[in-house]
Structure 1
Amino acid sequence: MLLSCSGSSDTVACLDKELGLKETYRKAFLDKVGAMKNMRTEGMPFAEEYRLNSLIAEEYSSYSFDSTMTYLEMNHALSVKYKDDARLTETELLKVKEYIRAGYHVEASNLLATIRPTMIKPEQKRLWFSVRHSLAGEMMSYSGGLDLYWVKFAERNEMRDSLMRYIEPDSFEWYFLNREAALSAKDSVSVRRLTEEMLHRTDESSSDYAAACWFYAEGISPKDWKQKLEWLCKSAISDVRCAKRDYAALNDVARMLFQKGDINRAFRYVADHGLPDALAFNGKLRPWQISQFFPMVERAYEAKQAKQRHLILAGMAFVSLLLIVLAFLLAALLRHHKILRKTNERLKALNLRLEESDKVKEEYIALFLEKVSDNINKNRKNQNHFLKYLRRGDYKYLIDEIESKPPVEDDIRQFYKMFDEAFLNLYPDFVAQVNSLLAENERITLKDGDSLTPELRICALIRLGVTDSGKMASLLHYSANTVYNYRARIRNKATGPRDKFEDEVKHLSMLNAEDVG
């Protein structure tokens, strides 16, 4: 129901909703009129056909001026055909009424001038004074000067007084005419009271309710614009539900919203509803009224749309620039991440080499200490043993014992065995990795268990960081020339560049994870 919407914002929202259902209401209206049209049959009695045409014309009166006039013209033709002067006069008066409603005041005046008072039957007096009253009021409202205004003002009041004699007291029209009289007398209290009575005597879904709401809004001060807007919205909602295409309220709502800055809604109300409906109705008054303010709304709407387009373009440019900046930042971040990843990889490799170096140092320090300790013990034992025989003066025994000692080569072999075992314990895959650098037919196979060949021992020293041939010769008890020959021989067996061979050997065989851990 209409009154379920309270407050200007609520009624505007309700109006938006009802406008969305406008075509549903119109379909129901056209179905109703279509059913009435289907009741017209060929050969039906004149009086019945006349009555039905009048009802259809009345239904069309706020929907289509052309359709209304079409059915009134049908009645005109029927009245002429059956020589019914009373119905002919009534039809002409109804045509005047529709001309007035649609804003064709000249046509209404011309047609009314052809109807003489003597042609009016007693039962037509009400309609006669009603159309004269309406025409005087319309011409007063749209007069071009004060002289005509006051002439029509007096004529309207005279016609109203005459019409009141034919109006049933306490009816909607009775309160409407009394409200008009109070308005002319500038009695605002009575105007409001009489308008409220009009509201109480109408159903919210009726055309009279739309008119009563509009008149109620008319009596509200412009300062109280929210309440005024609320009642205009109620009037417009009722117009929509009655499937009207000739209305004032929605256009007034659009005008108020435009003044309050709601340009989009004002433009939509007029461009999508008010103007198309007025043109479809084909009256003269509404298009003229709309033309007085719609150009301002249209210009403001276009200016706002242009501003929004500029804002959108500016926003798109900003977003595009932001995306470009983000792309550069992302590229820089990825580049930084790549550098960081490579740095981390190098750090991991360096840490592994440091751990490996520490492990090698630990192994060889332990081996060195063990060997030194053995040599100390052995020297101490020999010293005590030799002192014992020297004190006795038994030199011959000492000479014989020294000459019977094992040759130095046995110590060297023992050193090789110890070195080989320690190195292979640290680098169990070293031999296989060295072979991977050699030609297939030059690869080295260990024959004496875990003993390394001279070439492999030289490679082992290179792996441990000893690259000077003199140091190699001293450590391995080889001549410098022998070391040089072994190094040259192993380089010649390489599959890759010979000058890169020893560098590749330096990076072979990282420690086992278990050893490092």
Structure 2
Amino acid sequence: MGECLAVLFSLSALPACEQPETRTLAGELDYVLENKGVFDRKREERIDELRRTLHVTGLSPRQEYEINARLCDEFWKYKLDSAIRYAERNLAIARQLHDTPETYTSGLRLAQLYSFSGKSVEAKRILDTTRRKTLPTPLLPLYYETYNRLFGHYAAISYQKKYDRQAALYGDSLMMVLDPASYAYRSNRAGRLIGQGRLDEAQSLLTELLGEIETNTPHYAEITYAFGSLFQKRHDDRLALKYYRLSAIADIRNATKENASLQALARMSYAAGDLSDAFKYAQAAIDDALFSNVQFRTAQMAEFYSIINASYQAKEARSKSTLQHYMLLISLLSVVLALLFAYLYKQLRKLSRTKEELSQANLRLTQLNDELNDKNAQLSDSNDLKEQYIARFFDLCSLYIDKMDSYRKTLNRLAQNRQFDELFKRLKSTSMMENELDELYKNFDAIFLNLYPTFVADFNSLLIPEERIALRPGDLLNKELRIYALLRMGITDSAKIASFLRCSLSTVYNYRTKMRNKAALSREKFEKMVSEIGNTPVKEPQ
């Protein structure tokens, strides 16, 4: 396609490659139209990601301003109402910061958005309060562009051509302040050359621009649309359709709702007598305009859409009449089909029995796969537990060794200094063991809840509401929860649990019995449900 595109710039080579490529582009355009929701969702994902950054704590007004500006850019030519909301917020922030350049910038951007959405009065009010002489030089292009768009959009909405002349005057001013090497200057110049009928110069400039930009970008859509306009001026409908399609594809892929290429395609298809394509493109164009609230595009399409719709409905009526004739023929064929039905019915019954057998086999296979997945999940969970506990075990062992060595050194120092009373006092004291036990339980609680963060909530959901455990401030687990935490880890031996918690075996039995009595489900199921916490969501008993 790249070689063909290069050849297309030489008019002498057009017949060699145009028709096959045009058919391919038509299919691509139909494809992206059918899947435009996919491209819209990608844009929404970018927008949602930016929105989340607004909720970061400690955000300064300047940072919010920058995020709002990016959100405004994303919503521009997509959802004007949202873009306006962020532009209005940025104008308020700029005024709050007493940042004059940004206040001007935000105001001009807001005026452009108002112009796109048909709020011409609001846009004009902002521009009337913006003094040209006080504007910083870098903002002059934005100032003249905003005026140019305002009068151009108002001319489309009001159907008054006199405003087109005012738009053209501001377009002249815009060209005077743009950098001649910039994309904005050259693209605007190309459009003006097309309007003046200087098509060879315009084609040369557009070819240069097309070689500098990437495919399927917003700039690519603009330049290919300009090419479409140029070839339409040359009365070369094949090339005009080609470039309008390229432009429309790029707009849809970028989720650009403010576009002109679909409108141009609808008009050309209607002129060529292709009502199906004309209706399809017109419907897509007006859907985009209504979605994004671009009023001047809606105004441009409203009258034309009604004409296409009426023609399309007339064509459908003719098709319906033809269909009725075919229905008569189909009725005759139905008699023949009825004779075949009995034979097919017998065959279908055989096939149904075969499918039933296959269904039963597939069901069994699905059950086996589910069981295998459950086992794999349990094995993976067990491996995760082992890895995390081994790492924490080594950390704790190293810590305890250090503590024991420090304690040994302390006792040794007391013995060397013959401080026997203090030595005997230290040896008889249980405070170290108690402190270490507290530390051990805190480490156990932290490790366990790191592995099963919802354990307490899930455990409480298995108890009747009035018997649910309420932990003291600062506690992660209490003794009852530790017993069941050990059970969840697979330690079911009450003697081992009692040893770990430094309590009697009867205490463990009493706690387990007391918890089973508080359960909101049967005592037999209670500990089984506890052992499954963390594997699947635990539902509160009804």
Per the alignment, residue 275 of structure 1 pairs with 286
Contact kept? 2:175, 2:185, Cα under 8 Å: no
Gaps of 5+ in 2: 6-17, 340-542
Per the alignment, residue 49 of structure 1 pairs with 64
CA-to-partner distance for each residue in 1:108-136, whole Å, 9 max, x for gaps? 22321121224422332332233234335
Shift of 1:141: 6.7
Name the amino acid aligned to 1:131: T
Aligned residues: 323
CA spacing shift, 1:285–1:79, aligned 2, 3 Å: same
Q: Equivalent of 1:92, from 107, 111, 116?
A: 107
Q: Equivalent of 2:248, from 236, 239, 260?
A: 236
Q: Equivalent of 1:172, from 183, 199, 218?
A: 183
Per the alignment, residue 44 of structure 2 pairs with 30
Alignment partners' CA distance in 2, 1:87 and 1:135 = 21
The residue correspondences of 1:48-67 to structure 2 (distance < 5 A) are 48-67=63-82
Shift of 1:98: 1.9
Contact kept? 2:148, 2:168, Cα under 8 Å: no
CA spacing shift, 1:252–1:317, aligned 2, 3 Å: same
Alignment partners' CA distance in 1, 2:25 and 2:337 = 47
Alignment partners' CA distance in 2, 1:325 and 1:54 = 69
Name the amino acid aligned to 2:211: H
Alignment partners' CA distance in 2, 1:185 and 1:321 = 64
Shift of 1:322: 6.3
Name the amino acid aligned to 1:251: Q
Shift of 1:321: 4.8
Contact kept? 1:129, 1:162, Cα under 8 Å: no
Per the alignment, residue 284 of structure 1 pairs with 295
Q: Are residues 1:298 and 2:309 paired?
A: yes
Name the amino acid aligned to 1:85: T
Per the alignment, residue 263 of structure 1 pairs with 275
Q: Are residues 1:20 and 2:34 paired?
A: yes
CA-to-partner distance for each residue in 1:66-108, whole Å, 9 max, x for gaps? 0100111111221233333332221110012223344544432
Q: Equivalent of 2:227, from 216, 221, 232?
A: 216
**Stretch moving more, 76-85 or 192-201:** 76-85
Shift of 1:224: 1.5
CA spacing shift, 1:102–1:235, aligned 2, 3 Å: farther
CA spacing shift, 1:205–1:252, aligned 2, 3 Å: same
Larger Rg: 1
Q: Secondary structure at the match of 2:236?
A: helix
Contact kept? 2:117, 2:294, Cα under 8 Å: yes
Alignment partners' CA distance in 1, 2:143 and 2:336 = 80
Alignment partners' CA distance in 1, 2:143 and 2:286 = 32
Q: Are residues 1:130 and 2:141 paired?
A: no
Q: Are residues 1:227 and 2:242 paired?
A: no
Alignment partners' CA distance in 1, 2:194 and 2:270 = 28
Per the alignment, residue 348 of structure 1 pairs with none
Alignment partners' CA distance in 2, 1:297 and 1:197 = 37
Q: Equivalent of 1:204, from 202, 207, 215?
A: 215
Alignment partners' CA distance in 1, 2:326 and 2:28 = 34
Per the alignment, residue 247 of structure 1 pairs with 259
Q: Secondary structure at the match of 1:219?
A: helix
Contact kept? 2:118, 2:154, Cα under 8 Å: no
Alignment partners' CA distance in 2, 1:145 and 1:277 = 24
Alignment partners' CA distance in 2, 1:146 and 1:23 = 36
Q: Secondary structure at the match of 2:197?
A: coil
CA spacing shift, 1:45–1:224, aligned 2, 3 Å: same
Name the amino acid aligned to 1:224: D
CA-to-partner distance for each residue in 1:384-426, whole Å, 9 max, x for gaps? xxxxxxxxxxxxxxxxxxxxxxxxxxxxxxxxxxxxxxxxxxx
CA spacing shift, 1:231–1:161, aligned 2, 3 Å: closer
CA spacing shift, 1:89–1:171, aligned 2, 3 Å: closer
Q: Are residues 1:156 and 2:167 paired?
A: no
Q: Secondary structure at the match of 1:243?
A: coil
CA-to-partner distance for each residue in 1:165-190, whole Å, 9 max, x for gaps? xx2x4332121132244345432211
Contact kept? 2:68, 2:90, Cα under 8 Å: yes
Name the amino acid aligned to 1:27: R
CA spacing shift, 1:149–1:131, aligned 2, 3 Å: closer
Contact kept? 1:140, 1:153, Cα under 8 Å: no
Per the alignment, residue 319 of structure 1 pairs with 330
Contact kept? 2:258, 2:288, Cα under 8 Å: yes
Contact kept? 2:194, 2:230, Cα under 8 Å: no
Q: Equivalent of 2:199, from 158, 168, 188?
A: 188
CA spacing shift, 1:259–1:85, aligned 2, 3 Å: same
Shift of 1:142: 6.9
Larger RCO, structure (CA 8 Å, separation 6 or more): 1
Contact kept? 2:61, 2:93, Cα under 8 Å: yes
Shift of 1:286: 1.5
CA spacing shift, 1:200–1:140, aligned 2, 3 Å: farther
TM-score (normalizing by structure 1) = 0.57
Name the amino acid aligned to 1:269: Y
Alignment partners' CA distance in 2, 1:58 and 1:324 = 63
Alignment partners' CA distance in 2, 1:9 and 1:234 = 12
**Stretch moving more, 278-287 or 38-47:** 38-47
Q: Secondary structure at the match of 2:214?
A: coil
Contact kept? 1:175, 1:197, Cα under 8 Å: no
CA-to-partner distance for each residue in 1:446-477, whole Å, 9 max, x for gaps? xxxxxxxxxxxxxxxxxxxxxxxxxxxxxxxx
Alignment partners' CA distance in 2, 1:228 and 1:186 = 16
